[in-house]
Structure 1
């Protein structure tokens, strides 16, 4: 969830949350209109007296709209105070680093003021027109009645308010179920109590000594380096299988060290993990169940991948194990073919994972 607040996140989330905010504002505006028109008789005498005293309809409309603008401004100030108070707790909850940033851009404050004026006009326009239309003589005689059109409009507004409220409640229930699903879903690895350090290349040639030092810290169970971690993947790489040169297979590739599977608590379905006692493992790979199925591999010991290196020379990559499928991308995406290749000491870029 934390990644949803990063700059490179999908903009559709901003559209969704913005739409929800607009719907909530619309509900509040409609509610204000309903309450104002429902309580019109309480202010009817005020309108009648002001009209007899010389107030025009335009002056009354200006008064009622001013009251609506003032309420919108007060609501804005209260909202800013609440944001200032609750934002640190919200950041702690999601691990985000959001700021209010009122003075970061020149258009922020003018935009808030324009939005406040718009909301005030939207919510106060109909009550202002309705209240200012009262006949002062009928008001003072106590014979003011809501017109049929006014009653019909109020019913429409109430239906709209309930429809939007039901829509938001349904959306909230769906989001709750999705979040609950993500929390309880078996993603194929242990995602708890793992610290991931990005830009491992900054350590340079001291990678081995760094990992040894960190591993000796009390409480550290394991440490691993890799070019990808669950949730952060490399591009797809093309492979061929020895004896099947007419076929090309695409798979996400991750170059990892001996401790990657143990650090993330991944389970081997068959075969074995990388082992320092086998020098040939530095050219080997471990595949996931999807790769075995999609590439039609029945016996991993009889299959070698073929992949050209930077010089164009074909390298042969034996398969030593099959790891249980794990979600290396969003839960929305199906689990695709995945290859874990051995990370040589000269490959310094990527991530460091500490459990």
Structure 2
């Protein structure tokens, strides 16, 4: 076999998530899910009205936007990058949706969703192309585009706001329609998480993202198109942020220039808490989605328990630090176990 052919074969082998990763993902997701169940149980015991039908519906609706954003952010973080512009992209897509309905009231809802997703994908592509071409940390680039996109939003919107009454009733009803008692847009958000999770784990392109996050230099040597994969991850993140912007418009009463401000840090927090390693290479979008639900549920639980809302940020910060420390400990234990196995084989 020639050297290039051998490298191609090695590239195919390296894209399979390592055994340690496959064994860690269910455990990490299960621990986050257990924390969510414990939070709900304790809150319900103290305040039984926490899980009344209206309360559950509000929790699901509040989690919808964060779940969609977290799924896209997880794809980027797995590649050892981060996208801080998702809040601004959501804001632009949300205001664009309101503007589209205002200027063309008869626009089909499917077209509105397509435009929002495409708009977000274009902005995500800008992020990815700059990151890969300039070879500058994504943290710096997306911090810059966060402000650029937000500036465009302020220049475009000014003091204008669009209200849900400006949109067709069918669009506004998306937030109240239910499927088996679950809000329709919440179902859509979790379907997105499941579909993206399957693509990420069972396709070569998805497995390449794990390989890139684990060791970008090794991924290049093994023939993985690192630049193209990273750009694709940013495009997907932007597209999902655009989708979240359209859903935001359907969910809330009004959109304006400041829509989505500050969401990016909460989304990164949800991803990290959901078990996606901030150093890349491990985690899953399902875990990120559960992390998003955990954070939104925690906010509702704090209100239900009559705890000062100012504790929310402190608790989120503690959860982030805890998640990073746990990930670090797991990585060290895994590395130590691999060394022991190598010594035994040798």
Q: Same fold, TM exceeding 0.5?
A: no
Higher helix residue share: 2
Q: Which has the larger radius of gyration?
A: 1
User: What TM-score comes out, normalization by structure 1 length?
Assistant: 0.28
